Amino acid sequence: MAEPAAAAPPVDRLAIVGLGLIGSSIARAARRYGLARDIVAIDGDEAVRDRVRDLAIADRVTGDAAEGVEGADLVVLCVPVGAMGPVAEAMASRLKPGAVVSDVGSVKGSVVAAIQPHLPDGVALVPGHPIAGTEYSGPDAGFSTLFAGRWCILTPPDGTPDAATERVRALWEGMGALVETMSPEHHDLVLAITSHVPHLIAYNIVGTAADLEAVTQSEVIKFSASGFRDFTRIAASDPTMWRDIFLNNRDAVLEMLGRFNEDLAALAKAVRWGDGDALHAMFTRTRAIRRSIVALGQDTAAPDFGRPRPEEDGGKA
């Protein structure tokens, strides 16, 4: 990870719109690693602004997007996907020539379509998506190392000046992230399978369990350690953010969900007919993917995610 540089920071004035988990983490990291001379925090929610002032993670705090982006050479929108268009429209007239606008939305095609039309000539759009987060929300949930060792995908539309992309890349690399670029369409397909469908499924099974009449909710909760509880963490993510993701990446989600359902039907058939060989073969090949994820540093190899035990020595006899 980058340490505070003696040279000029890659960003002069950084404006962050939306100080939730991601926005507040960017503010903390940008200051900690010396990535911006000046940080402006913009949020429409007075309670959030008050917390940001108390936390002292920005140089200036305002509720007015247009006023807040004045003089900024990089503006990062950290609001739910459905709010990107209105925010872009509100601030567009005050963006300075040469400014770069970025975002952290989990869907890229619809975000480009929502933001791009509002931007004046001479302002570049470099959409971004950090693959990092937790199930918690709000300015108190953020921390400066959230992006360290995690990937950030940039999806600059055709014709974006290289210098604009490099400015955004410098911010993310400065926060310790690994940067990859791809088209917005490909991003949306990749994330549909690695993120959106898994979340939909997790939300779904937690809902199914809550509705059973033969099994009580207290039994579901008590015996959750058998697999179910990992789904509940995912299903505890921010509802507004996830509603917007599904509304804005509909086609890719439904395509991937269709494939998931075909595969699940085949697996259910193997269960119904007692095809042990098919089940064993399927359960064996999925182990290799897990090993690759741990090897690549995208997860811990600690058993059970290293959840704390009553005695931290692990009790090895």
The footprint of a copy of itself on residues 182-201 (CB under 8 A) is: 186, 189-191, 193-201
Residues 65-124 that bind a copy of itself (CB under 8 A): 106
Residue 53, interface with a copy of itself (CB under 8 A)? no
Residue 54, interface with a copy of itself (CB under 8 A)? no
Residue 6, interface with a copy of itself (CB under 8 A)? no
Output the smallest distance, CB 96 to a copy of itself, in A. 27
Tell me how far apart the alpha carbons of residues 34 and 148 are, in angstroms, rounded to a whole number: 15
Tell me how far apart the alpha carbons of residues 220 and 228 are, in angstroms, rounded to a whole number: 8
Question: Of residues 76, 79, 104, 253, which one binds a copy of itself by CB under 8 A?
Answer: 253
Residue corresponding to tokens 């429409």: 44
Residue 31, interface with a copy of itself (CB under 8 A)? yes
Q: Which is nearer to a copy of itself, 20 or 164 (CB)?
A: 20
Tell me how far apart the alpha carbons of residues 44 and 283 are, in angstroms, rounded to a whole number: 48
Q: Which stretch binds a copy of itself (CB under 8 A): 42-50, 93-101, 156-164, 223-231?
A: 223-231
Residue 207, interface with a copy of itself (CB under 8 A)? yes
Query: Quick check: 167 and 127 in contact, CB under 8 A?
Result: no
Question: Of residues 15, 57, 74, 101, which one binds a copy of itself by CB under 8 A?
Answer: 57
Residues 257-276 that bind a copy of itself (CB under 8 A): 257, 259-261, 263-264, 267-268, 270-272, 274, 276
Tell me how far apart the alpha carbons of residues 263 and 284 are, in angstroms, rounded to a whole number: 16
297 is written with which tokens?
Answer: 């540093």
Output the smallest distance, CB 120 to a copy of itself, in A. 30
Residue type, 35: L
Q: 280: Cβ–Cβ under 8 A, 6 or more apart, which residues? A: none
Residue 287, interface with a copy of itself (CB under 8 A)? yes
Question: Of residues 54, 64, 135, 162, which one binds a copy of itself by CB under 8 A?
Answer: 135
Question: Of residues 6, 97, 159, 292, which one binds a copy of itself by CB under 8 A?
Answer: 292
Phi-psi region of 292 (alpha: psi -120 to 50; beta: other; left: phi over 0): alpha
First vs last Cα of the chain: how many Å apart? 38
DSSP labels for 48-92? HHHHHHHHT-SSEEES-HHHHTTT-SEEEE-S-GGGHHHHHHHHG
Rounded alpha-carbon distances, angstroms, from residue 212 to 205, 207, 219, 223: 11, 9, 11, 15
Q: Which is nearer to a copy of itself, 52 or 95 (CB)?
A: 52
Q: How many residues bind a copy of itself (CB under 8 A)?
A: 129
Q: Which stretch binds a copy of itself (CB under 8 A): 67-75, 85-93, 157-165, 207-215?
A: 207-215
State the alpha helices, DSSP H only, in 213-314: 217-222, 228-234, 239-248, 250-272, 276-295
Residue 300, interface with a copy of itself (CB under 8 A)? yes
Element (H, E) at 115: helix 109-115
Question: Of residues 119, 123, 141, 179, which one binds a copy of itself by CB under 8 A?
Answer: 141
Q: Which stretch binds a copy of itself (CB under 8 A): 4-12, 65-73, 119-127, 250-258?
A: 250-258
Tell me how far apart the alpha carbons of residues 71 and 13 are, in angstroms, rounded to a whole number: 7
Output the smallest distance, CB 202 to a copy of itself, in A. 8
Residues 150-189 that bind a copy of itself (CB under 8 A): 150-151, 153, 176, 180, 186, 189
